[in-house]
Chains A and B, each alone.
Chain A
Amino acid sequence: MKPILSSFLQMLKSVKRDRMLVAACVAPLLVGIAIKYAIPFMEEILIAQTNRREILRPYYGLFDIFFSMITSAMFCFAAAMVLLEEHDDHIESYCSITPLGKTGYLISRIFLPAFAAFLMTGILLPIFHLTPLPPAMTFFFSLTGNLQGVIIALLVVTLSTNKLEGMAVTKIASVTILGALVPYFLPEPLQYTLAFLPSFWVGKSVCDQKLIYMLPAILETAIWILILLKRFRRKMP
C-alpha cells in the first residue's frame, strides 16, 4: 500500500507543477457553478425573449450527466498526461521492477484518480445538479461518469506516445461522452447504432427515466476497460 500511495503523491506533485493540469483539476468546480447558476439564468432570459414555456429545461438531465463525467474526465486526463510524460522518462519500466510493480503503478495512475473523482462527484453533484437527484441516481451517475473517465484515460495512453499527441487524442476520446446526447436527439431505432457507447445508456437512463439502463452502461464500460487495459499492457509490457 505504501508504494502505491507514494506513487500517487508523486503524480500529484507532477500535476501541481503543470499549470494546465492544475486548471483541469479545478475546472469541474467552475463548470459546476456555471451549470448551477448560469444555465437557469439563461433559461429565464430565453423564456422572456421567446414567450415559450421552456427551452433548456428538458435538457437539464443532460447537464447533470455531463457534470457527472467532467470531474472524472479531468482528473483522468491529468493522470494520463503525467503517465505519458513519465513514459518518455521510462519511469513505468523502472517502477515495474520495484515493489510498486506495473499493477501498482497503473492503480496509482488510473484507478486512484478515478476513485478520487468518484468521491468528488459524489460531493459536487448533489450541490450543482439541475434535476431532482435521488441518492441512488447520484451514485450511478458518479459511478458511470467516473468509469467514463477511465475509458478516456486508457484511450489516451494507448493511442498516443507523448503529451502532445495525448492532448489531441483526449479531444477525440472525449467524443465518447457525447453518446449521452443520442437518446435525446435521435429517434428510436436509429439511436441504437450508437448503443456501443456506455454514455448512450446513461443518457437513455435519464431521458427515459429508467434506472435499469444503468446496467448496460456499467457492463459496456467494463468491457471497454478490459479491452483497453489489455491493449495498454501490450503497449507497455
Chain B
Amino acid sequence: MIQVNNLSFSYTKQPFISGMSFSVSHGEIFGFLGPSGAGKSTLQKILIGMITAYQGSAMVNGVECKKRTKDFYEDIGVDFEFSTMYEKLTAKENLQFFSSLYEKKSRSIEELLEMVGLDRDGDKRVSDYSKGMKSRLNFIKALLHDPLLLCLDEPTSGLDPTNSRMMKDMILAEKAKGKTILLTTHNMQDAAELCDRVAFIVGGKICALDSPHSLIMSKGAAAVTYTWLENGEHSANCPIDRISSDERLKGLISENRLQSIHSGEPTLNDIFMDITGRTLV
C-alpha cells in the first residue's frame, strides 16, 4: 500500500526528514509515534500529496505522491489534527458538500452519523458541537467516499476517555473492514493498543520500527519487585522468567516474610525513552 524509500524533506535549509524508508502493507494499522515537532504530521502530509518538494520516493497505492492526480484522492481519506468543517453549516450540509467532491458514490450519511452516535445532531450547526463530537464528525468525513487508506493525524489527542474510547473502536472497526490506516500519535498507550506496527520518530528520523509487542519484548521480560523487613525495609528485583532461581525470594516466600510483591512490564514509553533518549512529550 505504501512504500517509502530514502525520503528526505525540509521546510528550511537545515535537513529535517532524512533518509526514511519503510513500507506499510494492506490492512495494517501503522503508527508514527513521537514527541510533538518530530515530523509526524509533515511525513503524513508528504504521503497525502500536500507536500511535493521532497527527495527520494514515496509511493501510495502505486502512485508517486508528488505526481498525484485527482484520482489519487478517490481512495484516500484524511482526518487532520484540527476540524475542517464549515462551522456555520450543519453536520449534514457539511457531509453532503464534501461527498459531492468525489466521483465515487458516497456512503450513506445517515448511517455514518448513526455509527458515531450523532444521528440526532445531524441538523445542528458544527459550531454548536463539542470537541468530541467534532472529532467524530471529522472522522466520518474521511470515510464518506469509502477510501482504501485512512490517514489520521492525532485522532485521540485532546479527547476525554469516553470519546477517546469511541474513536479507537471506530478505528479498529475500519481496520476490520480491511482498510489500511496510517495514524500519528504521541500517546504510547494508543499506539500500543491500535497499531500493528509503530515507527518511533524523533527529529525527522525513524529510530525504531516494529510491532509494539516486539518492541516491548526487546527490552527483556517483565520483572518482579519485592520488599521485606530485615533491620529496616529492603527491596529487590528479579526477572519474571528467573523467579525459581532467586533463593532469597524463595526463602522469603516459604517464611511468609514478604512485605510486598508486584510485577511490572516495560511500557512502550520506557522503550521509547531507552531507544531515543527522549520522553514522548
Contacts and interface: CB of A to CB of B under 8 A. Distances in A.
Interface of A: 2-3, 6-7, 10, 17, 86, 88-91, 93-101, 104, 237
B100 A6 contact: yes
Contacts of A104: 70
B101 A7 contact: yes
A6 B84 contact: no
Contact of A17 (B50, B82, B88): B88
Task: Tell me what chain B mostly uses at the interface: helix, strand, loop, or mixed.
Answer: loop
B83 to A, nearest CB: 7
For chain B, give the interface size range: 20 to 34
Contact of A94 (B51, B76, B98, B100): B98
A90 B101 contact: no
Interface of B: 48-51, 70-71, 73-74, 76, 78, 80, 82-88, 97-98, 100-103, 141
Contacts of B78: 94, 97
Given A94-B141, A97-B76, 7 more contacts: A3-B101, A17-B88, A91-B84, A93-B50, A97-B48, A99-B71, A99-B73
Contacts, number: 59
B84 A99 contact: no
Nearest to A92: B84
A2 B88 CA distance: 24
B76 A6 contact: no
B100 A97 contact: no
Contact of A86 (B50, B73, B83, B86): B86
Contacts of A2: 100, 103
Contact of A90 (B51, B73, B80, B102): B80
A98 B101 contact: yes
Contact of B50 (A97, A99, A100): A97
Most chain A beta-carbon contacts within 10 A, residue among B48, B85, B101, B102:
B101
